[in-house]
């Protein structure tokens, strides 16, 4: 067996032997239906690499425009106010909402910047035929940054804010708005490229440079572990609890350590914070007509009664339905995995995938609050500030995302595998028993 041969299903742990696919073809796990890998580009790896470099470079350029130009400008009877993303975060920071400001900064500026910068560095290097210094660490950073970058959520948040503002003032779109739109589209294409492919390309390069194979072939009965970072399935380095991937050096575990306990801990913290997140105001409006506190739910009601029913539904789904679903589904997954239940494993895997996918979308309301707070600063007319509910709400989103990441979906399938192995052992034992009986009769 050899290094590229095997692939392990991320969601249920089944091992497969890879075969080449046609372009745009997908290989799915027969047990849980998750996508294992996709067919290579028709024009080959180097054309694919050129595309990635070009797109990432373009996205990085658009990213800078999006950061430094204002997104929208408001005009109320000659009074104007405009906001850049960074400016909005600064406003939050000076309002003593340090944690929320930091969260918004990380999810909308720092992580997307790390993703683009690191990907560009590694892909550009490979394009020039060099495996850049720090290759493994930088490529791992791309993957982590990708999990936490939320540009597409921010884009929807910007659009909601714009629509919301049209009822208060004249809204003039600024270059930042279009730049964010373009960035969202470009990132969607960049994200469709799996960084694991870059590890394989890096391997090819080193093999050309150093004749002699880096990863020796291994015997079929040797114990292998899949690496969740680079995708290699091979016998790991090290012994006991300290195992590492031969290729990229990531620490490996048979199952994520303490997965269920950690999931529960994060989940319970999220459930407790979910209460203040809904009861405390996320926004406080001070206007000529006095002060008004808005919780998430009252914000939804306000949209509904003011005629923006579509927006009311979007915010209701993102901020109320999604967090509740996430808490419920994660509790169900942790509970059934703890009881080693064999109940509907495939459906539970689908639920897990869903929670992983929708997790980030609950940040929507936080982004809307951030931009609104920065835009509505008309001292004589109205000033909107962020309330403590925003902090609790942001914490719920981050905690549930962490809980989903701590949960190891392969735990859903372990009891199923164990039962199958037990049945097989029992039936083979029964068969040997029969044989002896037959033998005795003949004798």
3-state secondary structure of 18: coil
Residue 373: in which H helix or E strand, if any?
Answer: helix 364-375
Closest CA to 326 of 398, 392, 413: 398
The yes or no reply on residue 247 touching Zn ion (CB under 5 A) is yes
Closest to Zn ion by CB, 73 vs 147, is 147
Size (the chain), residues? 443
Q: Give me the least distance between CB of 247 and Zn ion, in Å please.
A: 5
The yes or no reply on residue 234 touching Zn ion (CB under 5 A) is no
Which one among 72, 248, 371, 404 touches Zn ion, defined by CB under 5 A? 248
d(CA 119, CA 136): 12
Q: Compute the half-sphere exposure of residue 409: CA atoms within 13 Å on the CB side of its CA.
A: 25
Task: Decide if 36 contacts 27 (C-beta within 8 A).
Answer: yes
Closest to Zn ion by CB, 165 vs 230, is 230
d(CA 327, CA 320): 11
Closest to Zn ion by CB, 250 vs 259, is 250
Q: Give me the least distance between CB of 350 and Zn ion, in Å please.
A: 11
In terms of Cβ atoms closer than 10 Å to its own Cβ (0-12, 13-18, 19+), residue 280 is: middle
Residue with tokens 């809307």: 368
The yes or no reply on residue 7 touching Zn ion (CB under 5 A) is no
d(CA 401, CA 403): 5
Closest to Zn ion by CB, 8 vs 184, is 8
Q: Give me the least distance between CB of 81 and Zn ion, in Å please.
A: 49
Which one among 29, 318, 398, 399 touches Zn ion, defined by CB under 5 A? 29
d(CA 368, CA 293): 16
The yes or no reply on residue 230 touching Zn ion (CB under 5 A) is yes
Closest to Zn ion by CB, 239 vs 379, is 239
Q: Give me the least distance between CB of 230 and Zn ion, in Å please.
A: 3
3-state secondary structure of 327: helix
The yes or no reply on residue 411 touching Zn ion (CB under 5 A) is no
Closest to Zn ion by CB, 32 vs 363, is 32
The yes or no reply on residue 322 touching Zn ion (CB under 5 A) is no
The yes or no reply on residue 412 touching Zn ion (CB under 5 A) is no
The yes or no reply on residue 282 touching Zn ion (CB under 5 A) is no
Instruction: Note the Cα 223 to chain centre separation in Å.
Output: 30
Region near Zn ion per CB under 5 A, out of 93-101, 164-172, 225-233, 357-365: 225-233
Binding mask 130-169 for Zn ion (x = CB under 5 A): ----------------------------------------
Letter string b/e over residues 199-234, b meaning 16 or more CB atoms within 10 A of that residue's CB: bbbbbebeeeeeeeeeeeeeeeeeeebbbbbbbbbb
Closest to Zn ion by CB, 35 vs 168, is 35
Closest to Zn ion by CB, 229 vs 384, is 229
Residues that bind Zn ion (CB under 5 A): 9, 11-12, 29, 31-32, 227, 229-230, 232, 245, 247-248, 250
């Amino acid at each position: 067996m050899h290094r590229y041969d095997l692939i392990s299903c991320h969601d249920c742990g089944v091992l497969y032997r890879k075969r080449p696919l046609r372009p745009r073809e997908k290989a799915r796990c027969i047990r849980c239906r998750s996508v294992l890998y996709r067919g290579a580009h028709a024009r080959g790896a180097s054309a694919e690499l050129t595309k990635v470099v070009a797109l990432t470079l373009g996205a990085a350029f658009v990213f800078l425009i999006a950061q430094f130009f204002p997104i929208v400008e408001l005009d109320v009877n000659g009074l104007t106010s405009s906001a850049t993303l960074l400016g909005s975060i600064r406003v939050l920071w000076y309002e003593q909402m340090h944690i929320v400001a930091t969260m918004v900064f990380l999810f909308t500026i720092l992580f997307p910047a790390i993703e683009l910068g690191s990907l560009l560095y590694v892909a550009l290097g490979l394009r020039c035929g060099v495996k850049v210094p720090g290759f493994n660490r930088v490529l791992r950073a791309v993957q982590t940054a990708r999990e936490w970058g939320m540009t597409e959520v921010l884009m929807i948040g910007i659009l909601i804010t714009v629509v919301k503002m049209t009822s208060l003032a004249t809204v003039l779109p600024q270059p930042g708005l279009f730049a964010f739109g373009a960035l969202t589209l470009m990132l969607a294409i960049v994200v469709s490229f799996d960084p694991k492919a870059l590890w394989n390309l890096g391997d090819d390069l080193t093999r050309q440079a150093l004749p002699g194979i880096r990863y020796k072939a291994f015997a079929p009965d040797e114990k292998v572990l899949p690496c969740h970072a680079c995708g290699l399935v091979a016998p790991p380095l090290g012994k006991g609890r300290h195992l590492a991937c031969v290729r990229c050096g990531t620490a490996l575990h048979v199952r994520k350590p303490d997965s269920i306990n950690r999931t529960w801990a994060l989940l319970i913290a999220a459930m407790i914070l979910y209460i203040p997140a809904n009861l405390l105001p996320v926004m406080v409006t001070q206007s000529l007509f006095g002060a008004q506190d808005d919780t998430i739910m009252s914000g939804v009601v306000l949209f509904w009664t003011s005629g923006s029913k579509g927006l009311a539904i979007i915010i209701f789904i993102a901020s109320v339905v999604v967090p509740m679903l996430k808490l419920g589904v994660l509790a169900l997954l942790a509970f059934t995995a703890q009881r080693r239940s064999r109940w509907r494993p495939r459906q539970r895997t689908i639920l897990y995938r869903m929670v992983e996918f929708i997790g980030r979308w609950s940040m929507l309301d936080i982004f809307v609050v951030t931009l609104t707070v920065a835009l509505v600063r008309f001292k004589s007319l109205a000033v909107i500030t962020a309330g403590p509910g925003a902090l609790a709400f942001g914490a719920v989103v981050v905690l549930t995302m962490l809980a989903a990441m701590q949960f190891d979906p392969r735990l859903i399938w372990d009891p199923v595998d164990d039962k199958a192995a037990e049945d097989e052992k029992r039936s083979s034992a029964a068969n040997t028993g029969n044989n002896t009986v037959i033998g005795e009769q003949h004798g």
